[in-house]
Amino acid sequence: MKALRKFLDGVEPHFSEGGKWSRLAPLYEMVDTIFFVPGTVTSTAPHLRDAIDIKRSMFTVIVALMPALIFGIYNTGYQVSPDAGFLQNMLTGGIAIVPLILVSYIVGGLWELLFAVVRKHEVNEGFLVTGLLLPMTLPPDIPLWMVALGISFGVVIGKEVTGGTGYNVFNPALVARAFIFFAYPGEMSGDPVWSLADDLTAATPLAAASSVQGADAVALVSGAGYSIWDMFLGLIPGSVGGTSTLAILSGAVVLIATRIANWRIMAGGVGGMVAAALLANALAPASQNTMLSLSPLHHFVMGGFAFGIVFMATDPVSAAQTDQGRWIYGFLIGVLCVMIRVLNQAFVEGIMLSILLGNAFAPMIDYFVLRQNIAKRQRAYAKQ
């Protein structure tokens, strides 16, 4: 590390103002702060000392994503050949998924660097997470050019046009996924979502649950060969990182323990999902809508609900900022997810649109929470 520090110090003058590569100063800053804590301090008080900065916060999120990603790589190979063995499944999955991640990081990183150079600011470290979240929400067989197009839309339209990191209204990774979903729905949904093997087609559990109207959704899922245990472990078709609830929960423990993500949003989301699912179950006997009969446990382990509520709804920029608001925000997302799954089966996944809608309402939720707190304090002060 001393040699790297000496090298970076040696080339720094070339990237400083007046140097021959000064236009590429954000590139130097990005490399330098990845390996070393920035040496700059505030010029006036107060001075805060902490062992972590934003880049290391983002790195913690990436660490939390690793269990879901590693399992997603294995599961991709497992779906192609269940009897191939662990190493062969990892190799098959890696060949399919690693290119998705590389394209997402390279193309999105170039956009980030371009905006940093033009605006003359540092490279936004939030992309370290966005660039990994997007491929983990996609099916493993999606064409690479769609990944490139999607991450371009998410970074440019979802974040940079609103001012960059800290100013985005919506989660950039979800904006990218929504763009791909609506522009190319055939590549994102339907029964044959896996095409890594010529003779392999498989319906996801959510697709199986909505396949026959007037039937029992739980029976349809079981009949398709998916048990609760299989869905909890993640040995099912689906997006790269969204199938294993167990792996996702291990990531949630990391985020909660390090306080990178707020547990109130997760708890509120689960609470809203359970309440909406129980209400749907009560209405099931009076309707031919198959999805009404799905239990809260099925909603929790099916599709991308767990992944979305843990890693995407908790985005510190686009989520609610007040503690009370976080409960309301999470509850709203959970309710909307079930409503979308049940009432509009063209969007059977539900969690993507529910989080985007939650992002849109987050500022208003915080506004009313703050107004309520101000009014409460004014009443208490008037009584003195």
Residue with tokens 């050949």: 81
Distance, CA of 246 to chain centre: 16
Show Cβ contacts of residue 3 under 8 Å, excluding neighbours closer than 6 positions: none
- Per the DSSP assignment, residues forming a β-bridge with 192 are 202
| Between residues 382 and 140, the one the model is more confident about | 140
- Nearest partner of 217 among 287, 305, 138, judged by Cα: 287
Counting Cβ atoms within 10 Å, is residue 217 exposed (0-12), middle (13-18) or buried (19+)?
A: buried
What are the Cα distances from residue 305, in Å, to 130, 155, 232, 238, 267? 18, 23, 12, 12, 13
- Nearest partner of 255 among 304, 313, 327, judged by Cα: 313
Give pLDDT, residue 378.
86
Question: What percentage of the chain reaches a pLDDT higher than 90?
Answer: 45
Give pLDDT, residue 312.
93
Could you report the per-residue pLDDT of 270-309, keeping only the tens digit for each? 999 999 999 999 998 888 888 888 899 999 998 889 999 9
The pair of three-digit structure tokens given for residue 330, joined into one six-digit string: 């999470």
Question: What percentage of the chain reaches a pLDDT higher than 70?
Answer: 78
- Nearest partner of 355 among 291, 297, 321, 310, judged by Cα: 310
**pLDDT, the chain, mean:** 83
Q: What is d(CA 349, CA 346) in angstroms, rounded to the nearest whole number?
A: 9
The pair of three-digit structure tokens given for residue 254, joined into one six-digit string: 């990391």
Residue 281 half-sphere exposure toward CB, CA atoms < 13 A? 13
Give pLDDT, residue 27.
62
Helices (H), 39-166: 54-80, 86-119, 127-136, 144-156
User: Average pLDDT, stretch 256-263?
Assistant: 92
The pair of three-digit structure tokens given for residue 45, joined into one six-digit string: 């008080």
| Between residues 8 and 254, the one the model is more confident about | 254
Give pLDDT, residue 200.
42
Counting Cβ atoms within 10 Å, is residue 10 exposed (0-12), middle (13-18) or buried (19+)?
A: exposed
Q: Is the pLDDT of residue 205 over 70?
A: yes
Could you report the per-residue pLDDT of 303-361, keeping only the tens digit for each? 889 999 999 999 988 999 999 999 999 999 999 999 998 887 666 678 999 999 999 99
Distance, CA of 40 to chain centre: 32
Give the pLDDT band of residue 109 (cuts 50, 70, 90). Answer: confident
Q: Is the pLDDT of residue 93 over 50?
A: yes
| Between residues 74 and 216, the one the model is more confident about | 74
Give residue limits of the domains in the chain.
9-34+53-189, 206-366
Q: Is the pLDDT of residue 204 over 50?
A: yes
Q: Is the pLDDT of residue 195 over 60?
A: no
Please provide the distance, in angstroms rounded to a whole number, between the alpha carbons at the two ends of the chain: 61
Q: What is d(CA 310, CA 251) in angstroms, rounded to the nearest whole number?
A: 8
- Nearest partner of 194 among 178, 207, 180, judged by Cα: 207
- Between 23-27, 47-51, 54-58, 129-133, the lowest mean confidence (pLDDT) is in 47-51
Neighbours of 367 (CB within 10 A): 12
Give the pLDDT band of residue 34 (cuts 50, 70, 90). Answer: low
Give the pLDDT band of residue 73 (cuts 50, 70, 90). Answer: very high
Q: What is d(CA 117, CA 164) in angstroms, rounded to the nearest whole number?
A: 13
pTM flag (> 0.95): no
Q: Is the pLDDT of residue 127 over 90?
A: no
Q: Are 283 and 290 in contact (CB under 8 A)?
A: no
Residue 280 half-sphere exposure toward CB, CA atoms < 13 A? 28
Could you report the per-residue pLDDT of 150-178, keeping only the tens digit for each? 999 999 998 888 877 777 889 999 999 99
- Per the DSSP assignment, residues forming a β-bridge with 202 are 192
Q: Which amino acid is at 189?
A: S
Using only the alpha carbons of the chain, give its radius of gyration. Answer: 23
Give the pLDDT band of residue 199 (cuts 50, 70, 90). Answer: very low
Q: What is d(CA 257, CA 261) in angstroms, rounded to the nearest whole number?
A: 9
Show Cβ contacts of residue 360 under 8 Å, excluding neighbours closer than 6 positions: 169, 170
Give the pLDDT band of residue 186 (cuts 50, 70, 90). Answer: confident
User: Average pLDDT, stretch 10-21?
Assistant: 68
